[in-house]
Structure 1
Amino acid sequence: MSLGARVRTVLASVGGLGLALGGAVAPASAAGGVPTTPTQLFNAYRHCSTDADRPTYVWAGSGLVVEGIPATTDASGWTSVGMRYQVWPAGHPEQTTTVTRTSATAGFESPATLPAEALADGQTYAWQAQTLAGDAASDWSAPCYVTVDNTRPANAPTVSSPNYPPDTWNEGGEPVRFTLGAGGAGDVEGYEFSWRQDLPVIGTTIGDHGIPEPTDPYADTRWFMRADSLGGPATLDLVPPGGSGPMTLTVRSLDRAYNPSATASYSFRVRSTAPTVTPVGPAPEFGRAVTFKLRPDTALQAKSPVVGYSVRTLGGQAGERTVEVPAEADGTAETELTLDGLYGQQVEVTSRSANGWVSDAGRWSITYDTTPTVGSETYPENGTGGGVGVPGTFTFSPKVKDVVSYTYSFNGGDEVTVDAGAHHGATVAWTPDTAGWSYLTVRATTGSGIELPSYDYYFTVAG
């Protein structure tokens, strides 16, 4: 799972970039125009901070990726330039480390990696960039300030809930209130959480001209929550996944560099809040529309009124299908479904409350036999009768309504279709030419074109 689009890899190897440490290296080739100060500065794919009192916190355990867009006054297009980066501990410009990228393209982000050995954990640094073109160099950009944080929060967060305790079955119907604590880690900025064990990955998409598009992960409240204060708690109100039974929320804390802590989890149990699903009127039959009454769980309705239902049907001619049904003021609803599954049908219904709660599914199902009934006086089913050259008649009658024809074959031969009569039945004649075991396969077709399952009728022709 990722936040936004997948992170794109924009750095090649150091050798492939044409990078060099030190300040005396010129770009690989001169370019026309006068170099201008780089723009669109980023560090670790996050925005540059030009406020020394509010640095960007970054992980730099394997070095720090810095980047900017070089430019010149030559507007002719793809101009070859270079980029130079300098970094120093804040307040100590005499301790400068320089990295030069000798091959870059004006107008496009040109990343380089500041070496990890020049960046101490916990230290704040300033860095800046300039464009190189031939023997000329632009003015330096304004410094960007970063604080290196290579240390994850020391402790896993604490997780508790006042309204869904862990050691009992809880009545569902209202969001779960969670209180998240930093577990004594003073640099926690926020928390990420998930009802699954996998937690979100914070990524940055790359836009036109290679410009990163960082976002604030805490803006996505499905997965992230900012702490009330640095190292402080946070409160969540979450609706658990639809269903009943055991539930687990997985949580970890994040420091300002988005370093994650160890994970913690909170498990609890929820009783069923499923609605009831009841057919109204005569006994349901294949091929007929049936009205279903949907009623909410009483305790659920008392906590927050049910405003709608998702009705999922399985086994019908249309395959799996879901329709949304609005509820009345009392939380009930009615919906009409046609039962056209060849062997039966299942209906699953979940309710949705005004406060966002989604229940587990209430279920109703039916099975039925839609094969035709087959009979013969001369050649009884699973018996012996008639003989070679002795004609026999076979009657077909339906178990369901609206049958208009039958398709049959003897002993796997060519299929023949006959129309159904006034009472939706049919009679066919057959004369065997060999003795022994035989079989008749028959299926019916309805007026709406549904071919029903076949029935195999076995019998023995007397020798």
Structure 2
Amino acid sequence: MSFGARPRAVLALLGTLGLSLAAAASPASAADGTPTTPTQLFNGYRNCSTDADRPTYLPSLGNVVVEGVPGTTDATGNPPVSVRYQAWPVSDPSQTETVTRDRATPGFEATSILPGDMLADGQTYAWRAQTVAGTAASDWSVPCYVTIDDTRPASTPAIASPNYPPNQWNQGGDPVRFTLDANGADDVAGFQYSWTGSFESIVLADFDDHHIPQPRDPYADPGHFVRADAVGGSATVDLVPPYGGAVTLWVRSLDRALNPSEATSYHFYVSPTSPTVTPADPSPEFGDTTTFTLRPDAGLQSRSPVVSYSVHTVNGPDGDRTFDVAAAADGTATTELTMDGINGEHVEVTSKSADGWVSDPAFWDIDYDTTPTVASDVYPENGSGGGAGVPGTFTFTPKAKGVVSYTYAFDSEPEVTVAAGADGTASVDWAPDSAGPDGLQVYATTRSGIQLATYYYSFTVN
């Protein structure tokens, strides 16, 4: 269940599952076994609290979902049972209401809802569950306690950072230490933050094969949440911004029911921390292998020494590739790269420091042409010549090393592959069937099986 958008649709669906309000349960199908007290009690997909002094805080959403797993002993055929739920205000136990879930399956969660008209914001309620099979009923479960909280925190959180002051440039390298404060909202239990201004949906629970919730603690995700040191208190968190330059952290408070406050933001600037990328050969060609030296940003190295680099290459014969390179004690590293991108090579490099700081990327690019050269005396490129039935020779010459064949096709004809000679060239003869515009497309293949870029050659038949 995701709390990003309040699940009214889920609650409406529950209303179609044969739930009924009654003073007592409608008898279920007769069962041969003795009903057992429901176990696995949950409310709002969160754990039941049996401590009246520490209730579970829930938004009512118009209703509160309650559930438990009914059971029977010595039953044959696993016949359906009913589950009876009773709820009452802790301040006035005489105001008890009963909700029944009919035709529940023993061993599976039986879900019902407490009526919204009995739930008041700020009030604490107790509820309990009982299994009913025919005319027999189990003992009641221990009570679960919930407090309804439909009110968002009254103020946005306060944000401060001792090492990255707002609205000014800061040397990157150390994680940013943020102090988040409830800012006078006395019901704040924690904080949620985002570098994008879009907040992660709060997932309340996963569900197993018996539909039993497995509650999640959002504060177990330190990349997006932190718990306050006390209700209405504050928290300190160290975060690494995802990029340099102008940076904004967005924060909102969460109360005990996970109601969010309005968001506020903290703006600051981080000086670029990109490494430098230097090839031994500044102008390599396709197929060349050259050594690249990676050097850390000096300010970053002095603040937070670099321990490794992540190297990402784009559009190689096997797709994009990413690999890590360990850095020496001075933060430098070397790596060899083979130029195998058919339209040039694009390299992105980021450095990583021991404290987790990831630098801005550095980029290195080179463009080169791996298309073959095409020439014909009879049918010149972008010109006219020959005629219907007049043969012409087309010669293919490589721009890249290691070419062993060419694959070509004239307009509307199937592809043909021809071997290259020792010098990497090849020639083919072709005669058109008719006059008019025509064309040829051709690409080379290397000894290692790389299909190079395609060249498009246009001409007109007289």
Q: 2:330 — aligned with what?
A: 330
Bigger-Rg structure (1/2): 1
Q: 2:252 — aligned with what?
A: 252
Within 5 Å, give how 1:32-431 maps onto structure 2. 32-200=32-200, 201-241=202-242, 243-281=243-281, 283-373=283-373, 397-405=397-405, 417=418, 419-421=420-422, 423-425=423-425
Find the aligned partners of 1:41 and 1:441 in 2 and give their Cα distance.
69
Preserved contact between residue 81 and residue 131 of structure 1 (Cα < 8 Å): yes
Three-state SS of the structure 2 residue aligned to 1:299 is helix
Find the aligned partners of 1:17 and 1:347 in 2 and give their Cα distance.
61
Task: Give, in angstroms, the shift of residue 378 of structure 1.
Answer: 9.0
CA 1:216–1:410 in 2, change beyond 3 Å: closer, same or farther? Answer: closer
Find the aligned partners of 1:38 and 1:438 in 2 and give their Cα distance.
80
Find the aligned partners of 1:434 and 1:16 in 2 and give their Cα distance.
73
Three-state SS of the structure 2 residue aligned to 1:16 is coil
Find the aligned partners of 2:424 and 2:301 in 1 and give their Cα distance.
48
Q: Which amino acid aligns with 1:64?
A: V
Q: Unaligned regions of 5+ residues in structure 1, if any?
A: none
CA 1:91–1:279 in 2, change beyond 3 Å: closer, same or farther? Answer: same
Task: Give, in angstroms, the shift of residue 215 of structure 1.
Answer: 2.5
Out of 159-168 and 174-183, give the one that drifted further.
Answer: 159-168
Preserved contact between residue 46 and residue 204 of structure 2 (Cα < 8 Å): no
Task: Give, in angstroms, the shift of residue 239 of structure 1.
Answer: 0.8
Out of 182-191 and 274-283, give the one that drifted further.
Answer: 274-283
In the comparison of the two structures, how many residue pairs are matched? 457
Task: Give, in angstroms, the shift of residue 104 of structure 1.
Answer: 2.2
Deviations 1:294-335 (A, max 9, x none): 111111111111111111111322222112222122111111
Out of 341-350 and 276-285, give the one that drifted further.
Answer: 276-285
Deviations 1:197-220 (A, max 9, x none): 222223211224322211322122
Preserved contact between residue 347 and residue 364 of structure 1 (Cα < 8 Å): yes
Preserved contact between residue 370 and residue 400 of structure 2 (Cα < 8 Å): yes
Task: Give, in angstroms, the shift of residue 61 of structure 1.
Answer: 4.1
Preserved contact between residue 83 and residue 110 of structure 2 (Cα < 8 Å): yes
Query: TM-score normalised to the size of structure 1?
Result: 0.85
Three-state SS of the structure 2 residue aligned to 1:302 is helix
Task: Give, in angstroms, the shift of residue 262 of structure 1.
Answer: 1.3
Task: Give, in angstroms, the shift of residue 339 of structure 1.
Answer: 0.7
Query: TM-score normalised to the size of structure 2?
Result: 0.86
Preserved contact between residue 203 and residue 218 of structure 2 (Cα < 8 Å): yes
Three-state SS of the structure 1 residue aligned to 2:360 is coil
Q: Which amino acid aligns with 1:105?
A: T
Three-state SS of the structure 1 residue aligned to 2:94 is helix
Find the aligned partners of 1:340 and 1:245 in 2 and give their Cα distance.
33
Q: Unaligned regions of 5+ residues in structure 2, if any?
A: none
Preserved contact between residue 33 and residue 76 of structure 2 (Cα < 8 Å): no
Q: Which amino acid aligns with 1:183?
A: N
Out of 388-397 and 87-96, give the one that drifted further.
Answer: 388-397
Q: Which amino acid aligns with 2:194?
A: S
Identity across the alignment (%): 59
CA 1:334–1:350 in 2, change beyond 3 Å: closer, same or farther? Answer: same
Three-state SS of the structure 2 residue aligned to 1:172 is coil
Deviations 1:363-422 (A, max 9, x none): 11111123344667898877899999999987654433333455678898885735324x
Three-state SS of the structure 2 residue aligned to 1:209 is coil
Preserved contact between residue 30 and residue 79 of structure 2 (Cα < 8 Å): no
Aligned-residue RMSD, C-alpha: 3.6
Task: Give, in angstroms, the shift of residue 134 of structure 1.
Answer: 2.3
Find the aligned partners of 2:384 and 2:152 in 1 and give their Cα distance.
83
Q: 1:448 — aligned with what?
A: 448
CA 1:339–1:97 in 2, change beyond 3 Å: closer, same or farther? Answer: same
CA 1:281–1:142 in 2, change beyond 3 Å: closer, same or farther? Answer: same
Preserved contact between residue 11 and residue 111 of structure 1 (Cα < 8 Å): no
Three-state SS of the structure 2 residue aligned to 1:300 is helix
CA 1:230–1:452 in 2, change beyond 3 Å: closer, same or farther? Answer: closer
